[in-house]
Amino acid sequence: MKSQKLQKSTSSKAEVIESKFKTDADIANANFKERELEKWVPDADDTKVLTFDENSTGGWDQFRVNQEKFGIESTYDEHLYTTRINTEAKDFQERVKKAERLANEIENDGSIDPHILEERGKLKDTGLDEEMKYSGVLRDEDPDVTKRDTRGDELMAALKSVNISDKKYVPPKPNALNTAHKDPAIASIQKPSDKKHTEESFRLNAQSEINSLKEFSATFKVPHKLPNDLLPILAKDKIKQDEILKKSSTPTSTSASSTSPPPPAFKLNPKAAAFTPSSPRGQGSPKPQAPKLPYVNNGMSKRHYQISPADFFGGFDRVPTKESQIEKSKKIKISFNLFVTAKRNTPKGEPVTIERAYTTPPTWKQTVDEPYYNLFPSPDTINQSPQAKPQVLNQQAPGQHPQAMNVFQQQQYQAAMFYQQQLGMMPQAQGMPGMYVPTGGEFMMPGYMPPNMNYSGGSPNSPRMVMQYPYGNSNQHHQNYNGNHHRRYNQKRNE
Amino acid sequence: MSETDWKSSLNLPEKDTRPQTEDVLNTKGKSFEDLGLKRELLMGIFEAGFEKPSPIQEESIPIALTGRDILARAKNGTGKTASFVIPTLQMIKPKVNKIQGLILVPTRELALQTSQVVRTLGKHLGIQCMVSTGGTPVKDDILRLNDPVHVLVGTPGRILDLASRNIADMSECSLFVMDEADKMLSREFKRTIERILELFPSNRQSLLFSATFPLAVKSFMEEHLNKPYEINLMDELTLKGISQFYAFVDEKQKLHCLNTLFSKLQINQSIIFCNSTNRVELLAKKITELGYSCYYSHARMPQQARNKVFHEFRMGKVRNLVCSDLLTRGIDIQAVNVVINFDFPKTAETYLHRIGRSGRFGHLGLAVNLLSWDDRYNLYKIEQELGTEIKPIPSVIDKSLYVAENESSVPKPFSTAQNGAPPQGYPPQAYPPQGYPPQGYPQGYPPQGYPPQGYAPHGVAPQVNGYPQYPQYGYPPYNGQYQQPMAQPQPSTQSSPTAKQ
């Protein structure tokens, strides 16, 4: 298993070198720093003031106005762009009927893909603005989405709701989608270097920010009940404390009433499709990638009743559809069938060989059975310290039995050691090859046994390999197996 | 027809004499005849006004003709569309009445435009090209598919609906093309695309093109492309022909600033981008109130209205177009020389595609960004990501940066529209005629002695108050007579559409 993984990773490295197709970032290499922007000033004799009344709605007849004012007539004819419908055909009426039936079928087909729905005219609004819908590229594998701390989202929603009251256009803020430069070199360049700011503009800018902050603080309210223990910190005076309490308990008109309607009762849908995490193509092992949180829409917090299937499943393309479910159940039927998969994976013309299933070496230390009381701490000690959970280990809770702790620590240690083994980092230098030497010294690892203890023929320097094929412990065998496997892997890629 | 005859009998459009940049001129010197194309295809190419292949065309057409997969990037407006349309047309067999090529694009307007390029270049080949996008009745598309279709151009959702039910038969379709490939592989489209690909025969050829690739498309390449030939003709992202400026203004100054730009700049046609649909409509209304002809378009409008706006603007009937990012990618209107970002975009790829609406095919263009205080970090970020510098707008912009000497030679999508736009936006009560001198002005223009004494050079028009004096320069009062050049284009007799892309 290990060696196979290694080969995979090296071959993908080779591909990286092979494919030099550059992304935008690879091409742009210049550094432009923050700088002071030059304010635009209207010409001195240009006193006409024009503004934009954002509160009025658009919705005017552009064709009528442009025709009346500028005499523009439309000449659009779709046949300049597409083919003509042949209405002369003998069976035209039949064709129309058939087309209507099919059209109906398409329009009533259940799909939840927002793009497909939009194309059918079923979906007016996906919540994405037109930039993200038609121009921008959604960063699907943006690691920031998984790393982002979402705890502040509710607070952020409250911050936004303050702004919503006036319907003014708010220019887009740089968001996590497009600001985060992971490269520390770039990130450091992007930090404000305001030395060049002149006094004047700095003062102006600062003042406008201060004003907006003041305005904000006047209307902003934390969307939680004020904890009582905060009061003495906020104000020493009893009267002031009451004032704060009062202020926090009255609902603010802007955030609470205008924006969020009372949440509809949330019911679990018994018909909902089962959620099964699977890699999109349903083959091979899942790629090692950071665990994905449900897709978070640019820091906009969503309440549970607002979560769309796409949010829940972590992307539009992951929401199970009828077809994907059928496909999946089809796959499940055969994927676990040893014979079918063996046959499918064997190149044409070669005899089908069915591989031995993965086997693991014995994990116990010796074959002499020990009584259970030697293997486990006595039940009394466990019962006495029901709090001895791994989380509290560091705190050494008083009254906790040391031995009980030891068990947990051991287990943790084993887990850690096992992990190291998996990564191939097992310290090997603590004894002759093939000889087991306790690594920690302090405690044994009862559940674990180094793989190269039971037999001497294995490659001494690669305990990982030996662990994998305990019964055919000759180097010859390994090479065969690996070669074989590698070839098949390549072949798959070439298909 | 003898060897030499066919070329002389071509109905060639007026030669486009505008200067071009290295972005399209830096070729190895091949000609279209060197590429081994069918005679009928060459005729379509030359009649569309194409003279020499651009670098991306020169590079990709021979490779595509060998049947190999291609992943290519080249700058906005350097001829990508023709790079995949020409091999598509070359490889399609007109006598086989099956869909043989599928071209997928992200927006409906772009589908219309691409289809029109296919029809124009392939008009002597007897090839049927059909558009299929959302927003139109499915029934009509199903009816159209009763008759032979060789090339299908469309948006993924509609195509999947038709192909998955075998209404559009993909079993013989061996050519799969994606324009704006980075957008098409973005999350919202990817699954649909993969489902469409499942319907293709296994020996298909794939051609992927875009100007931007903000993310690596490695996984898609590995899964769906077969040893793609990679073409990257970009050592920088922005076009050489476009001058970029910013005007740092307060939000409420924006309209004022725009009005000043209108009066100072010599706009042939302009596209103005806003970040919300309501602002699109409001701004367009304001612009008509200021006396300039203006249409608007965004995705919430009915498709029929969108198509109408798109068509009329392409035809040069209306000078200004306010739109959302619906029309950010791919839209090719040669006459656009000014792009204004009334609202600054969020992502670098959007910025690049927006400003790429001017300066098409190596020509000159101007991009002006109205920046408010909150946009400044986006500006730095986008400059950083694109490796370009956006300078403050000078009080006078040199005309040579974006104004063509001879506007009348700017190609139009349909040959019958060759005479170009009448001086829209020129009711005398509201100066200025944008794009001064107006293109398509009757023969004899400009009048002798133009520019008149006292006329400020470099596009600085006299101040607003001085405009009523303008008719003395030879503008007859507007009486609607300039409508006549816009005859109804006949699809069967298009002779020199030139959507060069």
* Chain B closest-CA separation from residue A94 CA (Å): 10
Chain mean position to CA A481: 36
Which of B189, B220, B236 is the last residue in one of the domains? Answer: B236
| Cα–Cα dist B91/B100, whole Å | 9
| Cα–Cα dist A275/B257, whole Å | 54
* Chain A closest-CA separation from residue B82 CA (Å): 16
Q: Which pLDDT score is estimated for A243?
A: 72
* B94 shares contact with chain A (CB less than 8 Å): no
* Chain A closest-CA separation from residue B2 CA (Å): 32
Sheet containing B129-132: which strands, arranged edge to edge?
B129-132, B151-154, B101-104, B175-178, B205-210, B70-73, B229-232
Q: Which pLDDT score is estimated for A17?
A: 39
Are residue A419 and residue A458 in the same domain, yes or no? yes
Predicted confidence (pLDDT) at residue A402 exceeds the cutoff of 50: no
The verdict on residue B218 lying in a domain is yes
Q: Which pLDDT score is estimated for B403?
A: 87
Are residue B214 and residue B314 in the same domain, yes or no? no
How high is the mean pLDDT of chain A? 63
* A442 shares contact with chain B (CB less than 8 Å): no
Across the interface, whether the CB atoms of B256 and A136 are under 8 A apart is answered no
Q: Which letter does DSSP use for residue A132 in this model?
A: I
Are residue B212 and residue B313 in the same domain, yes or no? no
Across the interface, whether the CB atoms of B142 and A103 are under 8 A apart is answered yes
**What are the chain A neighbours of B132 within 8 Å (beta carbons)?**
82
Are residue B302 and residue B366 in the same domain, yes or no? yes
Question: Which residue in chain A has the smallest CA separation from B263?
Answer: A46
Q: Are strands B365-371 and B336-341 parallel, antiparallel or unpaired?
A: parallel
B72: β partners: B209, B231
Query: Please, are residues B272 and B342 in contact by the beta-carbon 8 Å criterion?
Result: yes
Are residue A453 and residue A383 in the same domain, yes or no? yes
Query: Please, are residues B362 and B334 in contact by the beta-carbon 8 Å criterion?
Result: no
Instruction: Name residues 375-434 of chain A within 8 A of B (Cβ).
Output: none
More confident residue, B276 or B472: B276
Residue B120, both tokens: 């124009």
> Which pLDDT band, with edges at 50, 70 and 90, does B440 fall under?
very low
| Cα–Cα dist A222/B35, whole Å | 69
Predicted confidence (pLDDT) at residue A8 exceeds the cutoff of 50: no
The verdict on residue A231 lying in a domain is yes
> Which pLDDT band, with edges at 50, 70 and 90, does B405 fall under?
confident
Predicted confidence (pLDDT) at residue A369 exceeds the cutoff of 60: yes
| Mutation choice for A interface testing from B143, B255, B372 by most A CBs within 10 A | B143
Say what the ipTM of the complex is: 0.78
**What are the chain A neighbours of B279 within 8 Å (beta carbons)?**
54, 58, 169
Query: Phi and psi dihedrals of B48, rounded to 5?
Result: -80, 0
The verdict on residue B5 lying in a domain is no
Are residue B265 and residue B157 in the same domain, yes or no? no
Across the interface, whether the CB atoms of B383 and A66 are under 8 A apart is answered no
Are residue B337 and residue B457 in the same domain, yes or no? yes
Predicted confidence (pLDDT) at residue B467 exceeds the cutoff of 90: no
Q: Dihedral, CA atoms, B350, B356, B358, B362, nearest 10 degrees?
A: 170
Q: Which pLDDT score is estimated for B162?
A: 95
The verdict on residue B440 lying in a domain is yes
Q: Which pLDDT score is estimated for A372?
A: 75
Q: Which pLDDT score is estimated for B283?
A: 93
More confident residue, A175 or B251: B251
Are residue A279 and residue A246 in the same domain, yes or no? no
The verdict on residue A309 lying in a domain is yes
Mean pLDDT in residue range A44-54:
70
Across the interface, whether the CB atoms of A32 and B380 are under 8 A apart is answered yes
Chain mean position to CA A69: 52
| Cα–Cα dist B118/B116, whole Å | 5
The verdict on residue B8 lying in a domain is no
| Cα–Cα dist A314/A233, whole Å | 41
Predicted confidence (pLDDT) at residue A63 exceeds the cutoff of 90: yes
**Prediction pTM value:** 0.59
How high is the mean pLDDT of chain B? 82
Residue A320: closest CA among A366, A362, A269? A269
Predicted confidence (pLDDT) at residue B438 exceeds the cutoff of 80: no
| Cα–Cα dist B176/B170, whole Å | 10
Instruction: Name residues 22-61 of chain B within 8 A of A (Cβ).
Output: none
Mean pLDDT in residue range B357-368:
92
Residue located via tokens 């948006």: B155
The count of other CB atoms within 10 Å of the CB of residue B281 is 23
Q: Dihedral, CA atoms, A70, A73, A74, A75, nearest 10 degrees?
A: -130
> Percentage of residues in chain A with pLDDT exceeding 90?
8
Which residue from A134, A141, A169 is facing B326, i.e. has the nearest CB? A134
> Which pLDDT band, with edges at 50, 70 and 90, does A318 fall under?
confident
* A192 shares contact with chain B (CB less than 8 Å): no
Q: Which pLDDT score is estimated for A226?
A: 66
Are residue B157 and residue B277 in the same domain, yes or no? no
Which residue from B112, B119, B298 is facing A130, i.e. has the nearest CB? B298
**What are the chain B neighbours of A51 within 8 Å (beta carbons)?**
252, 255-256
Q: Are strands B391-392 and B365-371 parallel, antiparallel or unpaired?
A: unpaired
Which residue from A80, A132, A205 is facing B116, i.e. has the nearest CB? A80
The verdict on residue B10 lying in a domain is no
Residues B250, B253, B257: CA angle, nearest 5 degrees: 120
| Cα–Cα dist A209/B394, whole Å | 28
**What are the chain B neighbours of A127 within 8 Å (beta carbons)?**
none
Lowest mean pLDDT of B161-175, B181-195, B208-222, B311-325, name the range: B208-222
Q: Which of A117-126, A315-324, B416-425 has the highest mean pLDDT?
A: A315-324
- Report how many domains make up chain A: 3
The verdict on residue A195 lying in a domain is no
More confident residue, B274 or A449: B274
| Cα–Cα dist A74/A71, whole Å | 10
Which secondary structure element, helix H or strand E, spans residue B339, and what is its range?
A: strand B336-341
Q: Tens digit of pLDDT for each residue in A253-275?
A: 444 444 444 455 555 665 555 55
* B244 shares contact with chain A (CB less than 8 Å): no
Predicted confidence (pLDDT) at residue B418 exceeds the cutoff of 50: no
* B3 shares contact with chain A (CB less than 8 Å): no
The verdict on residue B405 lying in a domain is yes
- Which amino acid, residue B323? C
Mean pLDDT in residue range B44-52:
93
| Max Cα-Cα span within chain A | 102
Query: Please, are residues B165 and B132 in contact by the beta-carbon 8 Å criterion?
Result: no
Are residue A413 and residue A464 in the same domain, yes or no? yes
Are residue B227 and residue B259 in the same domain, yes or no? no
Predicted confidence (pLDDT) at residue A242 exceeds the cutoff of 80: no
Mean pLDDT in residue range A413-428:
53
* Chain B closest-CA separation from residue A164 CA (Å): 15
Question: Which residue in chain A has the smallest CA separation from B193?
Answer: A317
**What are the chain B neighbours of A73 within 8 Å (beta carbons)?**
483, 486
Q: Which pLDDT score is estimated for B414?
A: 73
Q: Which pLDDT score is estimated for A268?
A: 60
The verdict on residue A288 lying in a domain is yes
**What are the chain B neighbours of A33 within 8 Å (beta carbons)?**
380
Q: Tens digit of pLDDT for each residue in B112-135?
A: 999 999 999 999 999 999 999 999
| Mutation choice for B interface testing from A131, A183, A322 by most B CBs within 10 A | A131
Chain mean position to CA A131: 22
Residue A417: which residues within 8 A CB-CB, separation 6 or more?
A426, A439, A445, A448
Lowest mean pLDDT of A117-121, A375-379, B75-79, B292-296, name the range: A375-379
Which residue from A37, A85, A317 is facing B191, i.e. has the nearest CB? A317
Are residue B208 and residue B258 in the same domain, yes or no? no
Predicted confidence (pLDDT) at residue A166 exceeds the cutoff of 60: no
Query: Please, are residues A40 and B255 in contact by the beta-carbon 8 Å criterion?
Result: no
Mean pLDDT in residue range B305-328:
95
The verdict on residue A8 lying in a domain is no
Are residue A447 and residue A377 in the same domain, yes or no? yes
Across the interface, whether the CB atoms of A137 and B375 are under 8 A apart is answered no
CA distances from A39 to A172, A400, B248, B259, B394 (A): 20, 69, 5, 17, 11
The verdict on residue A13 lying in a domain is no
Predicted confidence (pLDDT) at residue A314 exceeds the cutoff of 70: yes
Query: Please, are residues B274 and B343 in contact by the beta-carbon 8 Å criterion?
Result: yes
Residue A191, both tokens: 């930090």
Mean pLDDT in residue range B382-410:
86
> Which pLDDT band, with edges at 50, 70 and 90, does B432 fall under?
very low
Instruction: Tell me the H-state helices in A71-127.
Output: 92-107, 114-119
Across the interface, whether the CB atoms of B230 and A20 are under 8 A apart is answered yes
Q: Which pLDDT score is estimated for A411?
A: 59
Are residue B243 and residue B334 in the same domain, yes or no? yes
Are residue A243 and residue A283 in the same domain, yes or no? no
Are residue B232 and residue B245 in the same domain, yes or no? no
Query: Phi and psi dihedrals of B368, rounded to 5?
Result: -115, 130
Residue A381, both tokens: 């000690």
Query: Please, are residues B284 and B275 in contact by the beta-carbon 8 Å criterion?
Result: no
Q: What's the domain range around B264?
A: 239-501
Q: Tens digit of pLDDT for each residue in A108-153?
A: 887 888 888 888 887 756 667 889 889 988 765 444 443 344 444 4
Residue B175: which residues within 8 A CB-CB, separation 6 or more?
B88, B91, B92, B100, B101, B102, B204, B205, B207
Q: Which of A128-142, A298-312, B176-190, B463-477 has the highest mean pLDDT?
A: B176-190
| Cα–Cα dist B145/A85, whole Å | 9
Residue B382: closest CA among A25, A205, A141? A25
Across the interface, whether the CB atoms of B142 and A76 are under 8 A apart is answered no
Are residue B256 and residue B228 in the same domain, yes or no? no
Chain mean position to CA B400: 22
In angstroms, what is the C-alpha Rg of chain A? 34
Q: Tens digit of pLDDT for each residue in B287-309?
A: 999 999 999 999 999 999 999 99
* Chain B closest-CA separation from residue A102 CA (Å): 8
Are residue A311 and residue A408 in the same domain, yes or no? no
Are residue B260 and residue B230 in the same domain, yes or no? no
The verdict on residue B337 lying in a domain is yes
Are residue A252 and residue A158 in the same domain, yes or no? yes
Predicted confidence (pLDDT) at residue A317 exceeds the cutoff of 70: yes
More confident residue, B164 or A275: B164
Across the interface, whether the CB atoms of A139 and B215 are under 8 A apart is answered yes
Lowest mean pLDDT of A38-47, A179-188, B258-267, name the range: A179-188
Which of B184, B212, B236 is the last residue in one of the domains? Answer: B236
Q: Are strands B294-297 and B336-341 parallel, antiparallel or unpaired?
A: unpaired
* B489 shares contact with chain A (CB less than 8 Å): yes
Lowest mean pLDDT of A188-202, A403-417, B427-441, name the range: B427-441
Are residue A445 and residue A399 in the same domain, yes or no? yes
Mean pLDDT in residue range B91-102:
95
- Which amino acid, residue A11? S
More confident residue, B331 or A164: B331
- Report how many domains make up chain B: 2
Mean pLDDT in residue range A432-458:
47
Question: Which residue in chain A has the smallest CA separation from B273?
Answer: A131
The verdict on residue A376 lying in a domain is yes
Q: Which pLDDT score is estimated for A366?
A: 65
More confident residue, B484 or A198: A198
Residue A298: which residues within 8 A CB-CB, separation 6 or more?
A175, A176, A177
Across the interface, whether the CB atoms of B463 and A43 are under 8 A apart is answered yes
Residue B155: closest CA among B178, B183, B133, B138? B133
B229: β partners: B70
The verdict on residue A360 lying in a domain is no
Residue B173: closest CA among B100, B107, B235, B237? B100
Q: What's the domain range around A391?
A: 372-470
| Cα–Cα dist A193/A217, whole Å | 28
Q: Which pLDDT score is estimated for A222?
A: 66
Q: Which of B151-165, B222-236, B474-488 has the highest mean pLDDT?
A: B151-165
Are residue A256 and residue A280 in the same domain, yes or no? no
Which of B205, B236, B267 is the last residue in one of the domains? Answer: B236
Work out how many CB contacts closer than 8 A connect A with B: 390
